[in-house]
Amino acid sequence: MAGTTYLEAGRRALIEEMERDGSVWALGEDLGRGGVFGQYRGLQEMFGDARIADTPISEACIMGAAVGAAMTGTRPVVEMRFSDFALCAVDELVNQAAKARFMFGGQMRVPLVVREPVGMWRSSAAQHSQSLEAWYAHIPGLVVVAPATPADNLGLLKSAIRCDDPVVYMEHKNLWGLEGQAPEGEHLVPLGQADIAREGRDLTLVTWSAMRHVSLLAAERLAGQGIEVEVIDLRTLWPWDREAVLASVEKTGRLLVAQEAVSVAGFGAEIAASVAEALHARLAAPVRRLGAPRIPIAYAPPLEDRARVSEDQIVEAVQGMIAPAPVS
């Protein structure tokens, strides 16, 4: 194991895959200058401008070129800078890439990775702070990934690049500087496999992306009160690890889902509904969700904080689910 950051782990993953497979390349705006956050720093010098390609400022052009290139045998990594900007390329991704394999009867595959930095990050305001994972999880044909740690950003990005289907790869902007351990040598994390980040007996807390870390802080506080929370980081939202979640909830009898995205129609609703349908007779408390209110994210830090799911909110929700019902 070696110390690294979330950003450097993703950079290492791309370098290793480009060295391993000559069909892997990356395209996007300003990659030659390292990208918005530095995640492509030095790569154009290493691989040349044909494999680390700078593009015009046109998300539709970038995505369309990548889809065509994937269909003809290469494995493009598409940099969208911000997930919000990727909405300019939704037609190419949703109506073309996601459907090509089905519409061509399996004769055509689109092995591309779309890197979309997501989430709230130092007053980036309403047009640069969204978490839109539920949009993509809703689309048949797309794989959706949301890594939360340096090790997972390394192993999941490598697995995403090797996947034969289009992958929407959502890296949280607030995690770029997160430090942690990552295995040396080859490291792959299977798509669709959750991580039990903390074991517990009293309640299952399902989350993903940056909310993993908030959830673990809340679980640590609750442990001091004698409440043991099992924290599950999904890592992949589609396919999601239904078996791991159901096994945990069958053990604990309680489920809380925490997401940074807007709660209304968020992916947490899919988890809640699936568990309620499968285990309704075994639940010790109604399933609960925590997510952002249905409002644009404000620039002002105090208003931005009102949209965040906090450690305090998680602790309060868990306490309410553990407490015995009042006697009537």
Instruction: List pLDDT tens digits, range 60-107.
Output: 999 999 999 999 999 999 999 888 889 999 999 999 999 999 988 988
CA–CA separation, 150 and 9 (whole Å): 5
Of all residues in the chain, what percent carry a pLDDT higher than 70?
97
Fold agreement between 2-182 and 195-322: yes
Domain ranges of the chain: 2-182, 195-322
- Assign 327 a pLDDT band (cuts: 50, 70, 90): very low
99 CB-contact burial (10 Å; exposed 0-12 / middle 13-18 / buried 19+): middle
Q: What is the DSSP string of 265-293?
A: T-HHHHHHHHHHHHHGGG-SS--EEEEE-
Angle at alpha carbon of residue 188, lines to 186 and 189, rounded to 5°:
155
Q: Average of pLDDT values for 99-124?
A: 89
User: Does residue 198 have a pLDDT over 70?
Assistant: yes
Question: Which tokens hold the place of 85?
Answer: 């900007």
Query: For the chain, where are the E strands, in sequence order?
Result: 2-5, 24-28, 52-54, 75-79, 113-115, 143-145, 167-169, 179-182, 195-198, 203-207, 229-233, 236-238, 255-262, 288-292
CATH class belonging to 195-322: alpha beta
Average pLDDT, the chain: 93
| Residue 145 Ramachandran class (φ > 0 left, ψ -120 to 50 alpha, else beta) | beta
Q: Average of pLDDT values for 209-227?
A: 96
Of all residues in the chain, what percent carry a pLDDT higher than 90?
82
Residue whose structure tokens are 């991580």:
195
Residues with Cβ within 8 Å of residue 328, at least 6 apart in sequence: none
Confidence (pLDDT) at 65:
97
What is the rounded end-to-end Cα distance, in angstroms, of the chain?
A: 56
User: Does residue 325 have a pLDDT over 60?
Assistant: no
pLDDT tens digits for 226-253?
Answer: 999 999 999 999 999 999 999 999 999 9
CA–CA separation, 171 and 147 (whole Å): 6
Confidence (pLDDT) at 280:
87
Q: Is the CA virtual torsion 272, 275, 276, 282 positive or negative?
A: negative
Looking at 122-199, list the stretches that DSSP marks H as alpha helix, in order from N- to C-terminal side. 133-137, 150-162
Residues with catalytic roles = 128
- Assign 129 a pLDDT band (cuts: 50, 70, 90): low
Q: Average of pLDDT values for 184-213?
A: 97
Confidence (pLDDT) at 4:
95
What is the pTM for the complete model shown?
0.92
Residue 16 one-letter amino acid: E
Bridge-based pairing of strands 288-292 and 255-262 is parallel
Residue whose structure tokens are 């794989």:
143
pLDDT tens digits for 270-318?
Answer: 999 999 999 988 899 999 999 988 888 888 888 888 888 899 999 999 9
Residue 125 one-letter amino acid: A
At the second CATH level, the architecture of 2-182 is: 3-Layer(aba) Sandwich (3.40)
